[in-house]
Structure 1
Amino acid sequence: MPLLDTGYNFKYCRISADKSAEIAQPFFIRPGQIFIFLEKLRGFMLPVSASQSAIAPISMSEGRPLSDRLSIENLQWLKGAVLKPAEMAMGPCVLTSAGIFTYLNGGGKEKADVFFEQVRYNGMTGKDCSMEIIDIFSSLIDTGMPLKVDIYFSNTHIRDREGCTHGRLAEKLGYIAQEHPFDIDLVRYKLNSLSAGQCLILTIDNAHVISVARDAENLWLFDTNLNPHKNCYEQKYREIIIETQREIAPYLFTPSGEKYACNEEAQCILDNYLSRVIKRQPVIISVDSQ
């Protein structure tokens, strides 16, 4: 399964059951292809009944969850609003990360739930949550938060700029974006220097999106690819799919079984993304504090 940069970021194709033989060969999949591979596996997703996916009404309130320690109440709200529903949704990483970014940076539950509601609805109806990368920024700008976008683009691929997903992103976004030569140490420094009280979005090249946050005491990572839910797949494929995922990316399976991680566990996952997966065109979205 070659990695094709089509320019349509975060849109994935389903694969039919007759390609199960291809899935049974994990050793032919490079670490950098894991996220496109995982999203293709979502083609085996079972229909979700309304009774399985009923979401309780969510009360809306404002606040800055990262101003102190991220509370249990904040985490429980995020779990109910999006992290649990995302288990049964296809391609939920973009909308999930955008909503978490909005909520944790003080945009409030109501604005965050604009993103989360789409994940819940698509999970119940079996629709794909995937979207083009430019749509993230359009929706985030609508929240009213001042944005800063740092694009790290590999100089070795400048000749492919026109066909590369993030090749012309800086031009499209205008003044809010800045392009830098790709240097994984610069990306690592940007992530490690995240200030307390802030949340950012990190694109894993053009294949996946996560959110990273820091409160007064802890580092947090939110990732819809963590601990994939076996009920997303038909019963006869569950074992081979989960086994393949564990073989390719063991760091995505954590003792808590949650879609988030904290402190050393979060740092370990982030380090694996930086050292094993990000190779060409990561993007970091943050709140512009100036």
Structure 2
Amino acid sequence: MRFLKRFINRFYIRHSLMFVTIFLAIVPLIFSDYILIGITQRNLLKNQKQTHKTISALIAAQAKQFMKVVDSKVESVKTAILFNSLDHELSEVIPLLEQRKTLVSFLENAPEIDYVLIQNNNGVRTFALNTSYNDQKVLDKQLAPMITTCIQENREIRSKPIMLRSIFKIYIFFLYPVETANERGVVAVAVNMERLFDSIEVELPPGYNYYMVGTDGTILGSTQKPMVGFPFYKDMTGILNQKVSVVEHNRQKVIVSGTLIPDFQTIVVTFIPTKIAYIHIHDMKVKTIGFGLLAILLA
């Protein structure tokens, strides 16, 4: 019995020492692997930020170019209206331009412009449409307070992109005060922003997407059209200042970066889900844990 007890004790001591030795050898290895994985993850995040900046800058450049073209077209419409208002009543200008085919030509060459309105300070109005009459009612409602401000303060107004949820369209509104010998009024132009989002062509790396986001965090344009009109993230200032790198969106964590387009009052946000960005790191973690468990089991 005494011999058996000694044998059992020696067996347990040897195997315990062996287990402790293996454990002490493997745990630091796993720990060091996790440190390396953490460093790799931080470096990957830095690389992602640089990729984001490059993509965002390309999209922002295309958006700026689009807005330059739109500005030029709106300016042409405004100039034509102002020129013809010199010797006519404001209510006569659009019918006159339509009669001369001038406005028709403008609207054919400017499909981005959905609505042109001239209204005097007595509320008399005339308009040209590149859209439906149902949309016109929604546009009129949105324009009403801006028209009042434009006439009262006698200043030009250029709105930020506005999402009209009832017709699910996004517009920028341009308003210009007009004054003739006999009356004062306003020229209003509504620009549909859908063509901007359709015109952007950027080859995105695998897994990447982008949004055009308003300063209030609402998605205005996207490679994922069903998400337009929904909130993206409230703290857009934090994203712009690089204070936020990973956010929760649509029930998943994404790495984000933003570039502001000042004239457009819109932020280009590029993002990639962390599960895609960190897929190699995830594999490294699984292999490290698997190796450690296997080594302990074999021991």
Which structure dedicates a bigger proportion of its chain to strand? 2
The structure, 1 or 2, with the larger RCO (C-alpha pairs under 8 Å, 6+ apart) is: 1
Length-normalised TM-score, structure 1:
0.22
Which structure dedicates a bigger proportion of its chain to helix? 2
Length-normalised TM-score, structure 2:
0.22
